[in-house]
Structure 1
């Protein structure tokens, strides 16, 4: 574990150097390849541990310490979060291309258009033509963009979400019992094992698809009901999707808004105050790891976007705070501490 933490800290430092240091002027192709090897390593670490609350909490603390050190060295340094590890190669590439000290020799390697461009996504064993491959993908998206609205979920998830809605509509029109549609969704979920984050994006895209018929509206309602029964998937969506996307879903669907709010209250109820850490932490190993700070950010964003929720939520939190003894001392009641932040 100590080695993993050292590697995480080292990769965060690597990202800072790549984007803000003149050291990259000395980089050659071998250095560049090693850098992307480390970025891929961190993406693997994220995939391996993002559903492990205990390990994730330890790694988040290490990144926090590393970020503090780097802030003292690099002006306007941007923190690297645990979630950022899922796109470490992308962060490295953006950092390099934004660094004015990047030598032309490295730029040429990244943009080399003579190298084969048929390497599968995620398998950049050779970094040559990396930017050319990205440009090809973006060009295809540009050509296809009139076919779909711009979405925060990405082109792949946008297309797959629309296809999911079409298939659901077809199945629901053939079966009044809807058992085939539910079996279909369960099968898709099982087939996405190991790609849970992308599956969440597909679900979000499907729920944000513009509905032009009663059949499409019924498909989204069915998907929402199914999602509410899949508690672990719903929690995973709420913990990994960007807050802006969750707010869009909450504004579009009352069912999702209420389910999202319930997930937040469930996370809070699972927290206890750690005297050693000086903060609220989750205790259940079955829960998705969410910090108290992130929990409050979710609550504040939701209440700001859906003002009609505020009165009911504040009233419910007050009742829960009273059940804990109605103390106004930090650390005695998670509901009291939540209320103090919300009421600010």
Structure 2
């Protein structure tokens, strides 16, 4: 391999990564998209080959510095590409494509797919799907995960559908990344940073909840997957509002599986349910318990559904829950009149 040719190809790829942040992507077709990922993969191979060869690496680093200087003059706002970035070049490419607001929606569908990046349409080139599938399996998927946009300027129906699909993709990416981390020996610190960064970068917390819910719905029982789910649940316990929102979005059967497997999650989940109940007030005109502003979206029916599912998980847990509800009812005056104690009314429903 001639070094002059390598440096020329390296420069071309850096120019490509600069171009994808501009209006030039409007002119791309699917073949151009595929070739872009091939060039990115080529640079990852360069990194793997020359990372430990100090002399050659130094030459490539200097060439990249010169290229970056030229690109900054040509493309305002250009983000430099370092030699270390070559190890995740496909991720840089995908990240910059997804963050570009002028990216054609047809290309977005190729990258995101109907439910996951691995599901594409018959007319889409196989190579593009293959490159994205490789991205999902790679540890540095966190770079893609935290950069995926939440677009709120589309029409309500289309936008809701797109956000749902996007959450499915991000949930899969999240679990794939965590599985890779824990499967490689348990990188708890890196996993914590990934989740925190995702929460900080996403403008809408509800979307983060959808991503978490999607991740937790994945039924894969490997040691790494179990560790990933446990880590997410522990992380949720540090953010009560996020945990409450997650409990509203995740199906009850999935929540109950976590209740059975994770005692700490069970304890925090019970706290959430009691918070929902204590924030309710009885509406005399409607003749029912209604949520206050802090628990909007939690009806008394939803609350009883959660408690009913909880006590059905085991006779012992039913006994513990009913004992605590009785104690709370007594603290309210131990009245058996509907509407005087939410705890008493909960017990009445659970006893039927």
User: What is the TM-score normalised by the length of structure 1?
Assistant: 0.49
Which structure's CA Rg is the greater one? 2
User: What is the TM-score normalised by the length of structure 2?
Assistant: 0.48
